[in-house]
Amino acid sequence: MANHGFGGPYARDDHFGGLGDEYARDRGWSGGGRAEDVVRDVHPRRISFRGRGPKNWNMDERIREAINDWLTDHDAVDATDVEVEVANGEVTLNGTVNSRYEKRLAEDVAMRCRGVHDVHNRLTIADRETPVGKASE
């Protein structure tokens, strides 16, 4: 028997746990009996239907809840005066925030939600200056 490197032919055989191709042929097994080949034959590649819900299923309420949760958990957005409405995957943000930065962040949070097709950002920036008195006083 010739030396085929470290471990000989036993170490190179990955088909039948080191039993060898001759052993497999004697028992009527095919030479390509790897587990991944068997799985590939049993489960052919399929088209993914992920994201397609049942007929008449409306995802709008789930989207609204997710956006409300994310706005509530976001450190940089004060969502106290923000209202989220969802219709057919289109989100409308109404209310007030403290800055242009918060307005854009709220829109980004809404747009990242799965199932959202468009965001209508109708948030306004709250007036930060509170009048103390008349300028002439």
pLDDT digits (tens, 9 = 90+) for 117-133: 999 999 999 986 555 55
Higher per-residue confidence, 15 vs 51: 51
Q: Which residue has the tokens 């242009």?
A: 100
- Asked if pLDDT for residue 68 goes beyond 70, the answer is yes
The pLDDT assigned to 51 comes to: 74
Q: Please state whether 7 falls in left (phi above 0), alpha (psi between -120 and 50) or beta.
A: left
The pLDDT assigned to 27 comes to: 65
The pLDDT assigned to 31 comes to: 52
Model confidence at 47, pLDDT cuts 50, 70, 90, reads: confident
Model confidence at 86, pLDDT cuts 50, 70, 90, reads: very high
Backbone CA torsion sign across 17, 23, 27, 28: positive
Average pLDDT, the chain: 79
Helix (H) or strand (E) holding 92: strand 90-97
Is the model's pTM score more than 0.85? Answer: no
Domain boundaries, the chain: 8-42, 60-125
Q: Say if CB 113 and CB 70 are below 8 A apart.
A: yes
The strand pair at 90-97 and 118-125 is best described as: parallel
User: Domain 60-125 is of which CATH architecture?
Assistant: 2-Layer Sandwich (3.30)
